A and B are shown apart, each in its own frame.
Chain A
């Protein structure tokens, strides 16, 4: 899973796809995950970081992570969908 290279991310949670002109809004944890995927982190590394930083458990995060990746795919923000 890779985030498309040309996707623009703002500090305040806006995501812009210049190839389609679509804009998106993500919450802070969503932005953190997008940035980490873009940096090439694996799911395990991302989960480790989230579990260390936030009050959640591995099962909850795993469910939410996969749901979030599905939404990135649905919005065509990932490379493997192009």
Chain B
């Protein structure tokens, strides 16, 4: 006789009076496949934990965003935000879709060039651009977004020495009705600092002001803030035209669109709470179209959204190391991935699904990572079916920031694979080994030997 599937014996107290209109078991449906490939097989082939990216999902998200904006506005250009996920294969999917590159450091700039992005299609943002970075950007005719006065003056000097006239934009911060207002990037609009920077550029023949940029926030749940920002930048552009007879060729709205992740403490899940691309597009495009630009002077709209384009395409597969019972009776499950590689678990309640079928019972569970650190908690409380050692799980919506902000801490960073639109799986970043770390270290001779 064939034996029945085993499930850990579970008993839990039933509490009445604690109503929840959303129910409790939404995360317990097993997810056994990603893009038709079995989770078990992916882990068997590439090890656990493992980051998986779906090329199909990336392209669908991009096309959805592109459609939302291009249906409403005639001149739209996306620029892939490298810091969101700069694994080269991911960048190139966006470049194939037509995205320029948006970088915030010399390292990211080099990466974009190495990926084959033409220099004049690279937007150089960020507060930290070295002299060499700026020299390279000027030589390549990149779009340089000036963040502060020190940079403006340094750029003028470098351009004068090189006898070049780089194309620049200024980064503008402003009150968009949100709290806290992001005022650390660029020059302030309301106190006149932004106009002062423009004046310094326009009254000098060394720099060519071609654009305005803003980065009003991150994971922005309010579309009206974008509407206000687009309105203020449009007014600013029209004022610059009036005052300096200078045509602003593009308005770059930066990034910050929310993905479908659920922020900690949020009442509604991200799938219900986050605005759609159409809602963001409506707010921005309406402001631009109603600002008073003539048809021929309508600026190009540049968007640097990263998170909302790639988050849903990323999955983290992992395995159960152990189960234990905490002193207050709660179930705790230790996974083989921690906050070191799932950095976003500090601010999201990531959806986590078991990767194999289970019965109908579940238990409130605390999910911990494997680090020997108390902060290594992935979910404080998740209704989960009984898992046993080596069972697999799928963490959803991890494509943004985890593969750039991850830390090599205590253990090595895992491999990353991409499931292509042809259904085949490609390794796009190898699992690190001890050599990845040791290779960069040097041992002084006198410390080589010891006796214990």
Stretch from B6-14, B32-40, B289-297 forming part of the interface with A: B6-14
User: Are B4 and A15 within 8 A (Cβ)?
Assistant: no
B3 within 8 A of A: yes
What are the residues of chain A within 8 A of B389 when measuring CB–CB? 60
What are the residues of chain B within 8 A of A34 when measuring CB–CB? 11
Chain A: residues with Cβ within 8 Å of the partner, total of 33
What are the residues of chain B within 8 A of A60 when measuring CB–CB? 6, 388-389
Give complex CA distance A50, B389 in Å: 18
User: Are B4 and A55 within 8 A (Cβ)?
Assistant: yes
B156 within 8 A of A: no
What are the residues of chain A within 8 A of B20 when measuring CB–CB? none
A81 within 8 A of B: no
User: Are B3 and A25 within 8 A (Cβ)?
Assistant: no
User: Are A26 and B388 within 8 A (Cβ)?
Assistant: no
Per DSSP, are chain A's interface residues mostly helix, strand or loop, or mixed? Answer: helix
User: Are A71 and B3 within 8 A (Cβ)?
Assistant: no
User: Are A24 and B12 within 8 A (Cβ)?
Assistant: yes
Contact A27-B359, Cβ < 8 Å, known A15-B11, A71-B11, A75-B13: yes
User: Are B6 and A33 within 8 A (Cβ)?
Assistant: no
Give complex CA distance A28, B361 in Å: 9
Give complex CA distance A53, B346 in Å: 42
A40 within 8 A of B: no
**Chain B 292-331: CB-based contact to A (< 8 A → 1; otherwise 0):** 0000000000000000000000000000000101000100
Contact A54-B11, Cβ < 8 Å, known A27-B359, A27-B386: no
Give complex CA distance A12, B361 in Å: 12
**Chain B 340-367: CB-based contact to A (< 8 A → 1; otherwise 0):** 0000000000000000000111000000
Query: Which of B7, B323, B329 is A29 in contact with, Cβ under 8 Å?
Result: B7
Give complex CA distance A35, B125 in Å: 67
Give complex CA distance A67, B111 in Å: 52
What are the residues of chain B within 8 A of A63 when measuring CB–CB? 323
User: Are A53 and B3 within 8 A (Cβ)?
Assistant: yes
Query: Which of B8, B14, B323, B388 is A25 in contact with, Cβ under 8 Å?
Result: B14
Q: Which of A27, A61, A67 has the most CB of B within 10 A?
A: A27
What are the residues of chain B within 8 A of A52 when measuring CB–CB? 3
User: Are A67 and B325 within 8 A (Cβ)?
Assistant: yes
A82 within 8 A of B: no
**Chain A 2-42: CB-based contact to B (< 8 A → 1; otherwise 0):** 00000000000101000000111111111011100000000
Contact A29-B11, Cβ < 8 Å, known A60-B388, A70-B325, A71-B329: no
Q: Which of B3, B8, B323 has the most CB of A within 10 A?
A: B8
B205 within 8 A of A: no
Q: Which residue of B lies closest to A27 (CB)?
A: B361
Q: Which residue of A lies closest to B361 (CB)?
A: A27
What are the residues of chain B within 8 A of A25 when measuring CB–CB? 11-12, 14, 361
B5 within 8 A of A: yes
User: Are A75 and B4 within 8 A (Cβ)?
Assistant: no
Give complex CA distance A76, B323 in Å: 22
User: Are B12 and A29 within 8 A (Cβ)?
Assistant: no
**Chain B 134-160: CB-based contact to A (< 8 A → 1; otherwise 0):** 000000000000000000000000000
Give complex CA distance A68, B11 in Å: 7
Give complex CA distance A22, B12 in Å: 11
What are the residues of chain A within 8 A of B329 when measuring CB–CB? 71, 74
User: Are A26 and B6 within 8 A (Cβ)?
Assistant: no
User: Are B14 and A23 within 8 A (Cβ)?
Assistant: yes
What are the residues of chain A within 8 A of B325 when measuring CB–CB? 67, 70-71
What are the residues of chain A within 8 A of B10 when measuring CB–CB? 26-27, 30, 68
Min Cβ gap A2→B in Å is: 16
Residues of chain A in range 46-75 having any CB-CB distance to chain B below 8 Å: 50, 52-56, 60-61, 63-65, 67-68, 70-72, 74-75
Interface residues of chain B, those whose CB is within 8 Å of chain A, are 3-14, 323, 325, 329, 359-361, 386, 388-389
Question: Sorted from nearest, which 6 A-B pairs have the closest CB atoms?
Answer: A27-B361, A30-B9, A56-B6, A54-B6, A26-B11, A68-B9
Interface residues of chain A, those whose CB is within 8 Å of chain B, are 13, 15, 22-30, 32-34, 50, 52-56, 60-61, 63-65, 67-68, 70-72, 74-75, 77
29 contacts between A and B (CB under 8 A): A15-B11, A22-B13, A23-B13, A23-B14, A24-B13, A24-B14, A25-B11, A25-B14, A26-B10, A26-B11, A27-B360, A28-B7, A29-B6, A29-B9, A30-B9, A30-B10, A33-B9, A34-B11, A50-B6, A55-B4, A55-B6, A56-B6, A60-B388, A65-B9, A67-B8, A67-B323, A71-B11, A71-B329, A75-B11
